Each structure stands twice: as C-alpha cells, then as structure tokens.
Structure 1
Amino acid sequence: MTATAAAPRAVAGRPGRVPVTRVFRFELVKLVSQWRIRLLVPACWVAPALFVAVVSRQSTLPVDTLFGRLMHATGWAGPLVTLGFAGSWALPLLTSVVAGDVFAAEDRLGTWRHLLVAVRSPRRIFAAKALASLTVILLLVAGLAVSSTVGGLLAVGNQPLTGLDGHLVSPPDAAAGVLLAWGCALAPTLALAGIGLLGSVTLGRSPMGLLLPALVALALQLAQMLPLPVAVRLALPGYAFIAWNGLFTSPAQAEPLLIGVAVGLAWAATATALAFVLFQRRDFTDLADGGGRRAAVAGVLPLAALTAITVAVIAVATGSGITGSGIEQGKVQRAVATEFAHLYRLQTAQLNRPDVTEDQLHATAVCTKGGGSADAAGAGNDWRCVVSWRLPGVAATGSAAYQLDITPDGRYVADGDGPKEVNGYFLVRTPDGDAPNPLWQFDGIVELLPTGAKG
C-alpha cells in the first residue's frame, strides 16, 4: 500500500522538477558524442600549434595577415595571426556547426516529443541547449588560442613583439595583449552563436539554419571591406574581430575595441532572446511551423532595428557623425611619423649606432593621396608619405618616402621607397638571427574615431 501510494507522488512530482544542470549534462553529452565535435575538439587543440610552428620555419611568411611578417621574430605573432584567420573563417564555421545545429538536430531526428516528455519544460530545454553550445564553443576557442600560443613560443621563442605603432612590446605585455585579444574576440563569436541559435530554432531542419552564422559572418566581412562610415562600421557585430589590433599601440586604441565588444554582446543577447521567445511559442506538432516567415519578421527586423539604433548612438557618442571614413590626412601623418620614429630607434639599436629618442628625432610626415590631385582622405593604395627627421648634432634633415596601401578598416602597409640606405631591403644582424630592415616594410593602423573622442 505504501509503495502504491509513493509511485503516484513520484510521477506527480516529476513535471518541472528536472534540474537544468541534469538537462545540461545530457545535452553536453549529446553534443560531444557527435563525430563532427569529436573531430573539431582535437583539431582546435593541435592544428594551430602545427600550423604556427611550420609557417614560422618557412622562408615565405603570410605578410598579407596582420603580424604575419613578424612570425620569424617572436612567438607571440603566431596566436595573433591565428586570431586574424579564426575571426574571418574558423570561428564562424565553428559556431555554425555547434550553435546552428543544436535545435535543428531534434527536427531532423524527430525527437522533440521524447525530449519534451522527459523534461516537461521548454525553458529548461532551451537553457540547457544554449549552455551546452556555449561550453563547446568556449572549449574550441580556448584550444585555438592555447595551441597557437604554445606552437609559436616553442618554434620561435619568447621575444618582444613589435607593436602596430613601432614600439616594442615586452613578452609579459605581449602575453597579456594576446590573452585580451582572444578574450575580446569572444564577443562577436557569441553574437554569431546567438544568430546560430536563432536560425536553428526558426529554420528547423532546413540547412540554412546551419549555414546562417557563416553566411552572416561572410556578409559582415565583406561589409568591412567597403568604404562605410565609421559609425556604421563600429555598429556591425563583427568589428571586434578587427578592433583588437588597437591593443598593440601605445597608448592602446581602447574605445573602438570597447564599442566592438559591447555591440557583439548586444547582438548575442538580442539574438538569443529572440530565439528563446520563438522557441517558447513554437508548435512542435507542426514541422513547418511557419519558420521562414517567422524568421524574417521576428528575427531580421529586430536585429536591423538594433543596428540602426547602435549606429545613431555611436555617431552621437563618439562625434564621428554618420558620414566619413575616419581615414584623414592628419591621422595618417601622425600614425606614420610615430611608427617611423619607433622603428628608427629599433634600427639604430640593431646597427649598433648611438641611441636617439623619439623626441630628439622630431619625425614628421607629409602624406598625399592620388599624387596630390585627390582629397587626402579615405582608403586606397595611392597614398604617399615623405617622413622627415633630424639627428642631434646633424644640421641636415633626413627624409624617406613610403608608398601606403590603406584598407577601409584603417590598416595600412607602408613600403619603403628610398633612400635604400634608410628604408630599402637589407638584412640586419640581431641576437636572434638576421632580420629584414625594420624600416623597409611595416604594418600600422589609423585610428578611425575622432582624436577628441578618446576615453
């Protein structure tokens, strides 16, 4: 009689009492049991180290990637090169495979009925699946960061890193910068993961749900290549994949990075909230359930409204307005002159010449665009800068010319155009081996926000 009475109480007490932690463990086991995840986890923890170690030993370096030309000089360049590649390709694909399929898999297998009967709480199902996806994504991102760092340090060593304004970054500061850069990249990664959850909920078994984060990331990457206004560029959720570059200047260009992180987190929260609301309202007896129409109305429109609001807020808060690329003659001249002065000191030390400070050099730059016929503003490969400086005790003024290729996101590559004794190609003997003349070619960034908008 006691056993008979206890059974109904257990059944009656079951609905709504399955703890989230138990459902989370169940969903996590389901995720890691998939063959794709089992391949991705060891790949993310091993492949970057092999890639960085092999590339660092090659004679040809990926100079088109930021910090790629420094992979011979320091092991801290490897994780930054990997981060640049991951932000463009690896992280969007990882979020597609994990978050973009976590709900759609139930549609393909037809297991929603069993899951709902077992858990009895759509809220807990959503929370468990979202947390399981987040856990796997963090595990994969950590693997990329740790593996590429270990590979670079083992293959090249723990040498100082040359920043994007030419100053030397000590190994401890480089380590902190690398860690912070990867941490900031989590914000746009979470934004793509939220979009993946939204696509997985609304599109169901359609393959578009799986591809949605990768397609959105590709669209964002293409948008960053266009001559967009600064406020629009910063309002895109993928900007933090680029803005971490500002960590490697002195002082750091923190404001664009903070804006990029905030925008990425806002997108992550909004997309996840939309996915949760739509999941709560879903009719699990209807496989179609109006997914395409609902995705357009309840998914695209709120995110578009978020973008418009963000553009307006950034334009007002930073004083950048809603027009202008942010690449202006004065900013380019200051960036090139500052970096030249830092690198001139580095060259002086490598050639065993008497030390000179940046203040003693008084380096200045005069930059024109399009041979002086065009307005000196905006991106392009037709920038030309002439840098002038003076050495203590020397009456003559030195000068060196550079050809600049500036991309719309503010990154530039300066190519020495003479005199060859100053910025031509020749090898310099360093304690770590022969290295190209640091004044020959170098990467830098132009601060896109108005200089008065710091803080």
Structure 2
Amino acid sequence: MTAAAADSATAPAAPTAPRVPVLRGYRFELVKLLTQWRVRVLIIACWLAPAVFVTVISKQASLPVDTLFGRSMHATGWAGPLVLLGFAGSWALPLLTSLIAGDVFASEDRLGTWRHLLVAVRSPRRIFVSKALSSGTVILLLVVGLVVSSTISGVLVVGNRQLIGLDGHLLSPGDAAGAVLLAWLCALAPTLALAAIGLLGSVALGRSPMGLLLPAVVALAMQIVQQLPVPVAFRLALPGYAFISWNGLFTSPAQRGPLLIGVAVSLVWAVVATGLAYFLFVRRDFTNPANDGSGRLAVTAGLLPLVLLLGLSTAAVAPVTGFGSGIDQDKVQRAVAVEFAHLYRLQTEQLNRADVTEEQLQSAAECTKGGDQVAARGPGNDWRCVVSWHLPGVEAAGTAIYQLDINPLGRFVADGDGPKEVNGFFLVRTPSGDQPNPLWQFDGNLELLPAH
C-alpha cells in the first residue's frame, strides 16, 4: 500500500487541453456566421439595396411625404439616408438583429453541436463572449452598409446640397453630413438593445422559433405603444426611442435631451439583457441534448427582470419628463412661428424679394385644438394655427392659416390653408421657373421634454 501510494504520488498528472482564447473563439464564430448563405445575402442586400431604393425614389415624381424628410429627396442627397433610417429603425434593423443575434445560440440547438463546441473550447463563458461579439460585428457590418450605400447614392444622384431642418433652418452640406452620421450613430444604441434581446431569446428559448422572432416582436410592440397616447416618461423608457429621437438633431438649437435619454436607456437595456442571457447560458445543462433551456427560468430570469427594468426606467426619467403627453399650446405656437419665419425667408429668396430677418418678421402663431371645445394639448389632427408676421415698411400684418396633424411622438405636418399667394399652392412661380413652395406644407418636431 505504501509503495502504491508512493508510485501514484510521483506519477505525472494527466495533461489537460488548454482553453481556447477568446480571440480565437471570436474568429471561429465570425467565420461560421460569414459562411452562412443567409448572412451573405443580408450583407449584399444591406450594401446594395439602399442605393437602389434611394436612386429609384429620388427619380420618381411622387415622394414618400408621409416619411420624415421624404419631401426633401428631390432637393438634397442627404434626405435619402434619413428616409432610410426611419424605415430601418421600424423594420429593417429589428429583422436584422432577429436573424443574426436571435439565432446565434439557437442554431447550435437545432444542429445538436453543443457537446462538440464545449469539448473544443472548454469554457461556456468564452463561448458566450465569442458568439455575442461575432453577432455584434456582423450587425455592425450590416448597419455600416445601410449608411454608406444610402449616403453615397443620395449624394451622387441628387447632389451635395443644403438640407431644410425640422424647424425650417438650412443646414449646410457639411452640417447635414455631420447630423446624418450622428443620427445613424445614435441608432446603434437601440440596435444593440434589440441584439441583446435577441441573444436572450436565443439562449432562453433554444430551438423555439419565438427566440428567433423575439427582437422583431419586441420592436413591433414598441412601435404600437409609441403611437398610443401614453405618458412621455413611459415613452422615453422604451429601448427603441432613440430610433425616433434623432429627429431633434435637425432643429436649431438641437433637441438633445430626448436623444440622450433614449441612447442611455437603450444602452442600459443592452447591458441588462446581455447579462441575463449570460446568466442563463452559463447555468444551462449541456449534458442532455434534448434540454435547450428551462421555460420557468426564462420567465423568472429573463422576462420579469426586463419588465422590472421598464418600470425602473420609467420612474427614473419621470422627474425630467413628467407624466403628460409633452405636447401643449405654447410649444406648438412657438414651433410653428419659428419654422414659418425660416421658410418665409426661403420663399423670399426664391422670389428675389428684399431679404428680411426673423427679428423683422416678428412672426407669431395662435393655435387651437378642436375649436374651443377641447383643451389645446396632446396629439391630434384637429390643430389649427393662424400665423401673423410683419414686413418692414408695411403697416398691415400678414396672416396665413395652417391645419396641423400632430402625432404622439411630437412630429407634426403643417398643411397650408391660405392665402393662396403664401401657402395655397404646391409651386411658386420664380424668375427661374416653378419651384416647390416651402410654405405650402412642412414637417416639424416638438420636444416632448418640459420647456425650461
């Protein structure tokens, strides 16, 4: 016994295979994603389809006027990437995150390859980090393709021209380029939040198709909620609000408050959802091939923490935002008057009239909602504004009427209702030919945070 114990003590230990470094695992997972035909098709589509879309729309006579900056696609190439950003935030990016992040773990369940992967890598933690980083890299590549393709095609087809902001002021081509790139950069935050939700669904629901669709379903639910008259605090607490609040970059001064809140909330959601996915993944039983996650654990450690996070986010932003709609009479009147003054100067330039400043115009707006029967606050298509202004050397004040449709997000469309010489026609006759009348119909944006 003593000799046997001595022999066993002096015997060399069995060699153990080293764990695969994270960088090598990341490269392996990235190659796995890039070799899938579905991912290759998505990359090609994101790098080519936006150019085709912007080119075709810019050449058409009718423009997507129901989309923000859609009516400017004939005027400047910088409107194209903004129109695409509005579409991508609602549909394209949620679908892309579903197809990439929502399937990165579930694909191993469908193929039954977890044992082989664990034997090769020897660390569930490294597997999770590698898969999360590789899926994020592919999503970033897709987003970059959307930006580059739409921007280059817009500038080449339409031109590197000035862009009319959402308060009527003109952005130089350089300022427009910076604002467009910053808007897309801010959209990465909610994209990361949806990708993290996709990772959570892929881990928690396994081979179930619901895990693949989770980011798209969550994005659709957030779109529906955003169109409802919910309190502004709840609206800003949703992780997808940064897909909307980039509008504030195109006013002067920029409405940065809602955008910063939206980006911060999205990043918090991204961190929390990724942490929950990691928590579920490292505690999973990989010895049973039929076990692809616990439904009870998915609810208690996946769904409920996100619901709690939504409540905490709402409570955190409520002192800054308040609980109302964020739309009131003073904001509407101020926004319409300011934008009218900027656009009136643009029309004056078109008609080769003597230039006037906003201070000389002294524009003001009197707005009501639904006549005298409804309080002048909240969204609706029953807003009516009478704008007045003064010209130097003219005693009588000019007046113009606008019908406003304000949605719950603070975006409004002002439709000219006379007089015809000011805003009654789509075109104005200028010395160089007929041109679009900037005062006929215009888009605007209200900041939902309380005015200071």
Query: What TM-score, normalized to structure 1?
Result: 0.95
Q: CA deviation at 1:309?
A: 1.1
Q: CA deviation at 1:436?
A: 1.4
- Provide the residue aligned with 1:415 in structure 2: 415
Q: CA deviation at 1:12?
A: 2.6
Superposed CA offset, 1:420-448 (max 9, x none): 10011142467997531000000001111
1:296 is aligned, of 295, 299, 316, to 299
- Paired with 1:431 and 1:137, the residues of 2 have a C-alpha distance of 49
Superposed CA offset, 1:122-167 (max 9, x none): 0100000000000000000000011000111111000100000000
1:285-364 matched pairs, under 5 angstroms = 285-286=287-288, 287-288=290-291, 290-316=293-319, 318=320, 320-321=321-322, 323-364=323-364
Q: CA deviation at 1:9?
A: 9.4
1:85-234 matched pairs, under 5 angstroms = 85-234=87-236
Q: Tell me which stretches of 4 or more aligned residues in structure 1 moved more than 4 Å.
A: 8-11, 429-434
Give yes or no for contact 2:167–2:335 (8 Å, CA) kept in 1: yes
- Secondary structure class of the residue paired with 1:149: helix
Instruction: Tell me the amino acid that sits aligned with residue 89 of structure 2.
Output: G
- Paired with 1:10 and 1:82, the residues of 2 have a C-alpha distance of 61
Give yes or no for contact 2:163–2:176 (8 Å, CA) kept in 1: yes
Instruction: Tell me the amino acid that sits aligned with residue 449 of structure 1.
Output: L
Superposed CA offset, 1:146-193 (max 9, x none): 100011111100010000000000000000000000000000000000
- Paired with 1:380 and 1:19, the residues of 2 have a C-alpha distance of 57
Unaligned runs of 5+ in 2: 1-10
Q: CA deviation at 1:77?
A: 0.1
Give yes or no for contact 1:387–1:401 (8 Å, CA) kept in 2: yes
Matched, 1:30 2:32: yes
- Secondary structure class of the residue paired with 2:211: helix
- Residues 237 and 431 of structure 1, relative CA distance in 2, 3 Å threshold: farther
- Provide the residue aligned with 2:447 in structure 1: 447
- Paired with 2:360 and 2:234, the residues of 1 have a C-alpha distance of 40
- Provide the residue aligned with 2:246 in structure 1: 244
Give yes or no for contact 2:203–2:293 (8 Å, CA) kept in 1: no
- Paired with 2:15 and 2:428, the residues of 1 have a C-alpha distance of 79
Give yes or no for contact 2:128–2:281 (8 Å, CA) kept in 1: yes
- Secondary structure class of the residue paired with 1:451: coil
1:248-263 matched pairs, under 5 angstroms = 248-263=250-265
Instruction: Tell me the amino acid that sits aligned with residue 291 of structure 1.
Output: S
Give yes or no for contact 2:427–2:437 (8 Å, CA) kept in 1: yes
- Secondary structure class of the residue paired with 2:371: helix
Give yes or no for contact 2:426–2:437 (8 Å, CA) kept in 1: yes
Q: CA deviation at 1:69?
A: 0.3
- Paired with 1:299 and 1:432, the residues of 2 have a C-alpha distance of 63
Q: CA deviation at 1:338?
A: 0.5
Q: CA deviation at 1:34?
A: 0.9
- Residues 252 and 432 of structure 1, relative CA distance in 2, 3 Å threshold: farther
- Paired with 2:235 and 2:373, the residues of 1 have a C-alpha distance of 27
Bigger mean CA deviation after superposition, 288-297 or 259-268: 288-297
- Paired with 1:214 and 1:61, the residues of 2 have a C-alpha distance of 27
- Secondary structure class of the residue paired with 2:413: strand
Task: Give the CA RMSD over aligned residues.
Answer: 1.6
- Provide the residue aligned with 1:269 in structure 2: 271
- Provide the residue aligned with 1:386 in structure 2: 386
- Provide the residue aligned with 1:3 in structure 2: none
- Residues 437 and 105 of structure 1, relative CA distance in 2, 3 Å threshold: same
Superposed CA offset, 1:17-61 (max 9, x none): x11111101100110111110100011001001100110010000
Superposed CA offset, 1:171-227 (max 9, x none): 000000000000000000000000000000010000000000000000001110000
- Paired with 1:324 and 1:56, the residues of 2 have a C-alpha distance of 39
Give yes or no for contact 1:204–1:291 (8 Å, CA) kept in 2: no
- Paired with 1:281 and 1:177, the residues of 2 have a C-alpha distance of 44
- Residues 429 and 15 of structure 1, relative CA distance in 2, 3 Å threshold: farther
Q: CA deviation at 1:305?
A: 1.2
- Secondary structure class of the residue paired with 1:38: helix
Instruction: Tell me the amino acid that sits aligned with residue 153 of structure 1.
Output: V
Instruction: Tell me the amino acid that sits aligned with residue 438 of structure 1.
Output: P
Instruction: Tell me the amino acid that sits aligned with residue 352 of structure 1.
Output: N
Q: CA deviation at 1:372?
A: 2.2
Give yes or no for contact 1:53–1:154 (8 Å, CA) kept in 2: no
Aligned residues with identical type, % of pairs: 73
Give yes or no for contact 2:207–2:292 (8 Å, CA) kept in 1: no
Give yes or no for contact 2:80–2:150 (8 Å, CA) kept in 1: yes
- Provide the residue aligned with 1:59 in structure 2: 61
